[in-house]
Structure 1
Amino acid sequence: MIAKRSSKQSVAHKVFVRSTKAGNAHKIFREQYLRDDVSCGSVKCGECSGKAQPDFKGDVVPPVLANTDLYCVVDTNICLKAIDLLEHPDCFTDVVIPHTVLEEVRNQSISVYTRLRALTSTSFQSKKRFYVYHNEFSESTFSQRQRMETVNDYNDRLIRLVTKYYNEHLSNPKSSFKAVLITNDRLNLEKCRSENILAASLHDYVTELGNAKLLDLVAIQEDAADLKSKQKNETSYAPYISTSAVLSGLNSQHLHQGKLSISRYNYLEASVSVQGSSKPFLVIGRDMMNRAFDGDKVVVELLPKSQWRKPLQTLTEADQDAGAADDEEQESSILSEKERLVMLEEARNAKPGEAEPTCKVVAVLKRNWRFYVGNISSEFAKHGERDSGALRSVLVRPMDKRISQIRIQTRRPNELAGKRIVVAVDDWPSWSRFPQGHFVKALGDIEDHQAETEAILLEHDIEFRPFPQAAMDCLPAEGDNWKPDELVLTSGKRRDLRDLNICSIDPPGCQDIDDALHAHVLPNGNYSLGVHIADVSHFVEADTPLDLEGALRATSTYLVDRRIDMLPSLLGTNLCSLKPYVERYAFSVIWEMTPEGNIVNTDFTKSLIKSREAFEYTEAQAKHDDKSQNDDLAQSLRILMKVSKMLKQKRLDAGALNLASPEVKIIMGDEMNDPTEVKIKQAVDTNSLVEEFMLLANITVAHKIYEHSPQTAMLRRHPAPPATNFDVINDQLRLKGFPQIATSSSKAVADSLDTIVDPKDPFFNTLIRILATRCMTSAEYFAAGNFAYPEFRHYGLATEIYTHFTSPIRRYADVIVHRQLEAAIGYKHLPPSHFVKANLEKIVDNNNNRHRNAQLAGRASVEYFVGKMLKSQKEPMVLEGYIIKVFSNGLGILVPKYGLESIIHIEDISSEEEPASFDESNYALILANGRKLSIFDKINVKVESQLHEATGKRSVKMTLG
Structure 2
Amino acid sequence: MLKQKTYYRNHKRSGILKIVREHYLREDIWCGSQVCGVCKAKNSEKVLDAEPKSKSDAVKFDHYIFLDTNAVLDQIDALEDPHLTNIVILMTVLEEVKHRSSAAYKRLHAIVTDSSRKCYVFVNEHRHETYVERNVGESSNDRNDRAIRVAALWYQNHLPTIKSVLLTDDGENRRKAVEMGLTAMSFADYAEGTDSPTLCERLCSKRWSQLKDEDQTQVFKPHLAPSAVQAGLKAGKLFKGPFYASRDNCLEATVKLDDRDVLLQGKASLNRAIDGDTVVIEILPESEWKAPSNLVVLSEDADEVVEDNSAAKQATGRVVAIVNRKHLQFCGILQVSPIAGHTRHLFVPSKRHIPKIRIETRQSERLANQRIVVAIDGWPVGSRYPQGHFVRALGKIGDQDTENEVLLLEHDIPCYKFSEAVLADLPSNDWVISDEELAKRVDLRNTIICSVDPPGCTDIDDALHCFELPNGNYEAGVHIADVSHFIRPGTAIDKEAAHRATTVYLTDQRIDMIPDLLSSKLCSLQGGEERLAFSCVWEITPGAEIVSTKYHKSVIKSAAAMTYAQAQEKINDANNRSPLAESLRSLNRLAKILKQKRIDNGALSLASPEIRFRIDPITHKPLEVVAKQMLETNSMVEEFMLLANVSVAEKILEEFPECALLRRHPEPPPTNFEPLTKAAEHQGFQIDCSSGKALSLSLDNAVKPADPYFNTMLRILTTRCMQQALYFSTGMLQKLLYFHYGLAMPTYTHFTSPIRRYSDVIVHRQLAACIGADSTYPELLDKRKIEELCNNLNYRKRMAQYASRASVALHTHLFFRDKTELEEGYILFVKKNALQILIPKFGLEGTVILTSKDKKKPSPFVYNSDDHTQSAGDIVFHAFDRVVVQMSLDRSNIQHEKLQMKLVEPEVPGFSVTTEGELLPAIEDTFG
Bigger drift between 772-781 and 234-243 goes to: 234-243
C-alpha displacement of 1:131: 2.8
C-alpha displacement of 1:670: 4.9
C-alpha displacement of 1:16: 4.8
CA contact under 8 A between 2:444 and 2:555: conserved in structure 1? yes
Equivalent residue letter for 1:933: F
CA contact under 8 A between 1:657 and 1:750: conserved in structure 2? yes
Aligned 1:804-815 pairs, distance under 5 A: 804-815=750-761
1:397 to 2:338 alignment: no
Match of 1:829 in 2: 775
Match of 1:266 in 2: 249
Match of 2:95 in 1: 102
- Counterpart Cα distance in 2 of 1:519 and 1:879: 45
C-alpha displacement of 1:546: 1.6
Aligned 1:881-892 pairs, distance under 5 A: 881-892=825-836
SS at match of 2:590: helix
Q: Closer, same or farther in 2 for the Cα pair 1:170/1:704, shift >3 Å?
A: farther
1:252 to 2:232 alignment: no
1:413 to 2:357 alignment: no
SS at match of 1:651: helix
Q: TM-score, normalised by structure 1?
A: 0.86
1:922 to 2:893 alignment: no
Match of 1:112 in 2: 104
CA contact under 8 A between 1:711 and 1:784: conserved in structure 2? yes
Q: Closer, same or farther in 2 for the Cα pair 1:103/1:899, shift >3 Å?
A: same
- Counterpart Cα distance in 1 of 2:124 and 2:860: 71
Equivalent residue letter for 2:866: S
C-alpha displacement of 1:855: 0.5
- Counterpart Cα distance in 1 of 2:12 and 2:680: 53
C-alpha displacement of 1:918: 1.8
Bigger drift between 543-552 and 205-214 goes to: 205-214
Match of 2:431 in 1: 482
CA contact under 8 A between 2:571 and 2:584: conserved in structure 1? yes
Aligned 1:61-80 pairs, distance under 5 A: 66=48, 68=50, 71-80=64-73
Bigger drift between 230-239 and 542-551 goes to: 230-239
- Listed one character per residue, the Cα deviations across residues 69-124 of structure 1 (whole Å, up to 9, x for unaligned) are 655444443443433444444434544243565355444x433333444556xx64
C-alpha displacement of 1:766: 1.6
C-alpha displacement of 1:575: 1.7
- Counterpart Cα distance in 2 of 1:488 and 1:753: 51
Match among 129, 137, 147 for residue 161 of structure 1? 147
Match of 1:675 in 2: 622
CA contact under 8 A between 2:32 and 2:120: conserved in structure 1? no
- Counterpart Cα distance in 1 of 2:828 and 2:391: 39
Match of 1:131 in 2: 121
Q: Closer, same or farther in 2 for the Cα pair 1:583/1:97, shift >3 Å?
A: farther
SS at match of 1:531: strand
C-alpha displacement of 1:572: 1.3
Match of 1:339 in 2: 303
Match among 552, 561, 572 for residue 625 of structure 1? 572
SS at match of 1:738: coil
Aligned 1:465-864 pairs, distance under 5 A: 465-476=416-427, 478-479=428-429, 481-489=430-438, 492-743=439-690, 745-864=691-810
CA contact under 8 A between 2:333 and 2:349: conserved in structure 1? yes
Q: TM-score, normalised by structure 2?
A: 0.89
- Counterpart Cα distance in 2 of 1:90 and 1:790: 57
CA contact under 8 A between 1:493 and 1:605: conserved in structure 2? no
- Counterpart Cα distance in 1 of 2:556 and 2:121: 44
- Counterpart Cα distance in 2 of 1:777 and 1:894: 20
- Counterpart Cα distance in 1 of 2:481 and 2:797: 20
Q: Closer, same or farther in 2 for the Cα pair 1:909/1:368, shift >3 Å?
A: same
- Listed one character per residue, the Cα deviations across residues 186-216 of structure 1 (whole Å, up to 9, x for unaligned) are 4433443345554433223434553232222
Match of 1:184 in 2: 169
- Listed one character per residue, the Cα deviations across residues 553-605 of structure 1 (whole Å, up to 9, x for unaligned) are 11111110111111111221122211222222222222232333233333322
CA contact under 8 A between 2:47 and 2:118: conserved in structure 1? no
Equivalent residue letter for 2:489: A
- Listed one character per residue, the Cα deviations across residues 160-195 of structure 1 (whole Å, up to 9, x for unaligned) are 3134135326733x6334444433334433443345
- Listed one character per residue, the Cα deviations across residues 274-309 of structure 1 (whole Å, up to 9, x for unaligned) are 4444xx333222232111101222222234556544
Equivalent residue letter for 2:864: D
CA contact under 8 A between 1:135 and 1:162: conserved in structure 2? no
Aligned 1:197-208 pairs, distance under 5 A: 197-207=182-192
- Counterpart Cα distance in 2 of 1:614 and 1:352: 54
Match among 890, 896, 899 for residue 843 of structure 2? 899
Match of 1:361 in 2: 319
SS at match of 1:400: coil
CA contact under 8 A between 2:78 and 2:200: conserved in structure 1? no
C-alpha displacement of 1:802: 1.6
Q: Closer, same or farther in 2 for the Cα pair 1:512/1:38, shift >3 Å?
A: farther
Q: RMSD of the TM alignment (CA)?
A: 3.2
SS at match of 1:922: coil
Q: Closer, same or farther in 2 for the Cα pair 1:710/1:103, shift >3 Å?
A: farther
Equivalent residue letter for 2:221: A
- Counterpart Cα distance in 1 of 2:861 and 2:584: 58
SS at match of 1:222: helix
C-alpha displacement of 1:48: 7.8
Match of 1:34 in 2: 23
1:376 to 2:334 alignment: yes
- Counterpart Cα distance in 1 of 2:671 and 2:28: 63
Bigger drift between 179-188 and 556-565 goes to: 179-188
SS at match of 2:446: coil
SS at match of 1:441: strand
Equivalent residue letter for 1:83: I
CA contact under 8 A between 1:497 and 1:608: conserved in structure 2? yes
C-alpha displacement of 1:503: 1.4
Match of 1:11 in 2: 4
Aligned 1:314-329 pairs, distance under 5 A: 314-319=295-300
CA contact under 8 A between 2:280 and 2:320: conserved in structure 1? yes
C-alpha displacement of 1:793: 1.9
CA contact under 8 A between 2:97 and 2:105: conserved in structure 1? no
C-alpha displacement of 1:821: 2.2
C-alpha displacement of 1:428: 0.7
1:460 to 2:411 alignment: yes
- Counterpart Cα distance in 2 of 1:137 and 1:797: 60
Equivalent residue letter for 2:663: R
Equivalent residue letter for 2:719: T
Match of 1:286 in 2: 267
Identical pairs, percent: 39
SS at match of 1:921: coil
Give the length in aligned residue pairs: 891
C-alpha displacement of 1:136: 8.9
Q: Closer, same or farther in 2 for the Cα pair 1:625/1:103, shift >3 Å?
A: farther
Match of 1:330 in 2: none
Match of 2:58 in 1: none
C-alpha displacement of 1:499: 1.5
Gaps of 5+ in 1: 1-7, 52-61, 320-335
- Counterpart Cα distance in 1 of 2:529 and 2:349: 48
CA contact under 8 A between 1:596 and 1:646: conserved in structure 2? yes
- Counterpart Cα distance in 2 of 1:798 and 1:233: 53
CA contact under 8 A between 2:135 and 2:143: conserved in structure 1? no
